[in-house]
Structure 1
Amino acid sequence: MAIHVQDKVADRMLRDFARRRGVGITEAIKLAVTDADRAGQKDVEDLRRRIEPILAQVRAARNCAPFSAKDDKAFMDEMWGEDD
């Protein structure tokens, strides 16, 4: 299957990439896509590593006793100065 790059800048970038890598256009496309996939996966892994401490705090908080409607009512009554 043929790929026709209509954008002159993209075509030039692809040809420069292929020349620098010492490969043909088809191989350059494969390499570029593989590199982009790896970079995207690395970004996802970095994000997971950064948010894991936050997720651990959320998981720990979930194990606490949940609030009940009764707790909410007492809080709201106190906030509004109402006694029941």
Structure 2
Amino acid sequence: MEASVSLRIDDAALVKLVTELATLRGVSEADAAKLAVRAELDRVAPSVPLRERFSALRTAHPLPPRTGQAPDKAFFDDLSGAP
């Protein structure tokens, strides 16, 4: 269960920005503030480097074993409609 917390904002420019976002998104000011804070937290959160993400993907979905056969260029040209 969430605790009820009140946040008082005395910055007119911030209130204007939150109100503008709320209007554009069609949500309450509280929801607009949550959206903005969540977006910023997601933006600055450390991300997993691409090399690590790709490695995990290759581990989860390995390539099939090599067949030892040479590719049939004529077959693939025919598939792609190449002359």
Normalising by structure 1, we get a TM-score of 0.47
Normalising by structure 2, we get a TM-score of 0.47
